[in-house]
Structure 1
Amino acid sequence: MLCTIMAQKGLREFLDKKMEEADKIAPQDRLFLHDGGLYPILVCQPETLKMLDTFEARSDDVILVGYPKTGTNWVGQILVELASASGKYDEEERKQRQQKENELSIRPYLEFGDPGKFERMKTLPSRRIIKTHLIPQKIPKSIFQKKAKMLALFRNPKDTAVSYFHFAKGMKLVPDDQQTWEEFFPDFMSGKVPYCLYFDYIIEWNKYMDDKNIMFITYEELKENETLGLKKIAEFFGFSVTEQDIQSIVGKTSFKAMKEKSLETHGKMGESLFRKGIIGDWRNVFSESQNEEMDRKFEETVASTKLGVMLKYELYCKS
């Protein structure tokens, strides 16, 4: 228990420090351009992005990929719990793992933090759980070369946009001219937000739909039947867990449970990370013209793709 508290304390202190730094960054300096994409200066460094390909993947790494605000914090915790239950670590092994992660000054995503992290990550015991928001062509090549298994997470674009807006505003990740929904929406639709245009993200990952080393899943699928979703994820990664393990993890990773512990686990950032956690909040935000614009964009870009069909747009994004 002491080790868990120490690991959480390390992450919480890092996140609280970032929240303090956000107030000191001039609005025009909050984003920087690298290799054609925008990134938040608060958590990313150009030097780290330049060194992404020095990351040495392992064949048993567990990789979670997902566009910002599609549920990666939630699903990342699910993976941690599945790995822990599957490994049945004794107290000493659990202590060693948590100490190692704490020494890393945990940067929650592969592209976050300083470039020296890639060397430090070599000291982590297997299986490592790694998260990223990157599109396929910017993922370190060694991940594909080692055939590490990836879980690709997607969420309906309307809820993604709304959640992204509230998070980016709360975290001061975007310039002042994106501080209202009316200002943020056109930039989201044109890709003038950290990482890229969400529809481009979907298009790029759609090219990997037949890759046997990548499992595709949606936020909505997990929300509607988390037990079944966890069983599919466990089977894909080869996590050996019991029915009792699954039910315990469902309880630990419910939105209510994670929100209640967010101050303890994520500090001040918890309020921005865990807002509502529901399907369909876009109905409270989108105007009629914005609805029509996104419906048209979806139809023109990804509606006919395998991944587009998987998103069940008619069900989740039509009034």
Structure 2
Amino acid sequence: MAGNGQTGDAMAGNGQTGDEKYPMRIKERVFKGILMWQCEAEEFETMETREDDIWICTFPRSGTTMTQELVYLIQTLDFERADNTELDTRVLFLDCKDDRFPFYKGKKAIDEMKSPRLIKSHLHHFLLPEQLQNGKGRIIYMFRNPKDVVISLFKLFAWTRQLDEGENMFGRFFDSFVEGTAYACPWPKHVLGYWERKDDGHVLLLRYEDVIKDMPAAIRRIAKFLGRTLTDENVANIADHCNIVNMRNNDKVNLSYWKNIGYVNFEENESQFINKGHPGTWHEKLSPEQAAKMDKLIREVEDAGLQIVQT
């Protein structure tokens, strides 16, 4: 499944189909060379966007959830709703349509949203709606050291039962990430697609490590981009709400509300939706050889002028 170039329908080594053993496994597809979840990708190019749209775009596991919560509160200052309504309801996910899940309703649900819409996507920039690419709507893009990303993404897919079983699961997933065949890959292409639009007035790029280091400064930067005026108290309250520890314990963002759906493996204690959140956790998992392979990916983006912070 995700990360090994297979379709997700076969479970490695046990002769069962993914649907038999893990009935809530999300199906995959390839569109224009990119592995993604099942969705209406063919319709995205001509999708109508709105001038006041706010799109939170990331390569997965690059601070997506934190960015969504930050943007939601900066835009609305509605802490009461944030404390009582699941994030998946407040910010809809475009690039997955699976009616078995309450939050993956695809394009139609987003078309029906009231303005201003907050929309999440892991799509490459070239797969976004043409109107959005041309400036009808705003994009906030978060990027992160891929050495931390690959570990976090592996943990997520293991936690949500999206990986084929068998020996060396992480090694197989890692290789597919480096080779550019894993979900949403190639990572350099994803990041550079947005980096190349950094001077567009409707695109804001954020570095995950910078946000973690100084969240109040990031909040003010996002607020300026969105045309929002915040008090120092507003900034402090948002920063406290979006602190990693508080996010991990927040049942409206930590995916605990998926427990009764059967999608998440709550018996797996090592993995959870929101992990440590601290840059540099890759040191605990990657071998020197694996780190060297990731360095090659990093050099691809740094050659284009984008600095990746490594700790």
* 1:55 equivalent among 47, 50, 54: 47
2:23 equivalent to 1:31: no
Q: Does structure 2 retain, via aligned residues, the 8 Å contact 1:22–1:171?
A: no
Return 5+ residue gaps in structure 1 as ranges: 1-19
CA 1:39–1:177: 2 relative to 1, 3 Å: farther
1:185, 1:110 → 2: CA distance?
A: 26
CA contact (8 A) 1:190 1:197 kept: yes
Matched with 2:280 is 280
**1:243/1:264 Cα in 2 relative to 1: closer, same or farther (>3 Å)?**
closer
User: When the two structures are superposed, what TM-score results if normalisation uses the length of structure 1?
Assistant: 0.76
Instruction: State the partner residue of 2:217.
Output: 228
Secondary structure in 2 aligned to 1:161?
A: helix
Instruction: Compute the TM-score of the two structures, normalised by the length of structure 2.
Output: 0.78
Amino acid at match of 1:286: L
CA distance in 2, matches of 1:35, 1:178: 31
CA displacement at 1:116 relative to structure 2? 6.9
What is the match of residue 306 of structure 1? 305
**Contact preservation (8 Å) 2:65, 2:253:** no
- Which residue of 2 is the match for residue 186 of structure 1? 175
Residue number among 145, 161, 166 corresponding to 1:172 in the alignment: 161
1:112 maps to: 96
How far apart are residue 296 of structure 1 and its match? Answer: 3.1
**Count of residue pairs brought into register by the alignment:** 276
Is the Cα–Cα contact under 8 Å of residues 80 and 129 in structure 1 kept in the other structure? yes
1:126 matched residue in structure 2: 115
Structure 2 residues without counterparts, runs of 5 or longer: 1-18, 99-103
Residue 284 of structure 1 and its aligned partner are, at CA, apart by 0.4
Aligned pairs for 1:133-172 within 5 A: 133-172=122-161
| CA displacement at 1:173 relative to structure 2 | 2.2
Give the secondary-structure state (helix, strand or coil) at the position aligned to 1:165. helix
Which one has more relative contact order, counting CA pairs under 8 Å at least 6 apart?
A: 1
Tell me by how many angstroms 1:33 deviates: 2.0
Once the two structures are aligned, what percentage of the paired residues are identical?
21
Amino acid at match of 1:213: H
SS state at 2:197 partner: coil
Distance 2:112 2:125 in 1: 25
Paired position in structure 2 for 1:83: 75
Aligned residues of 1:107 and 1:113 also touching (Cα < 8 A): no
CA distance in 2 between counterparts of 1:178 and 1:211 reads: 45
CA contact 1:222–1:229 (8 Å) conserved in 2 = yes
Kindly provide the amino acid, as one letter, of the partner of residue 306 in structure 1. G
AA at the equivalent of 2:163: V
Alignment deviations for residues 255-282 of structure 1 (CA, whole Å, 9 cap, x no partner): 1111112378622359631121111000
1:216-238 residue CA offsets vs partner (Å, 9 max, x unmatched):
11110000000001000000111
* 1:69 match: secondary structure: coil
User: Aligned to 1:306, what secondary structure does the other structure show?
Assistant: coil
Question: Is the Cα–Cα contact under 8 Å of residues 262 and 274 in structure 1 kept in the other structure?
Answer: no
Asked whether the 8 Å contact 1:67–1:154 carries over to 2, the reply is yes
Give the distance between the partners of 1:170 and 1:105, measured in 2 at CA.
21
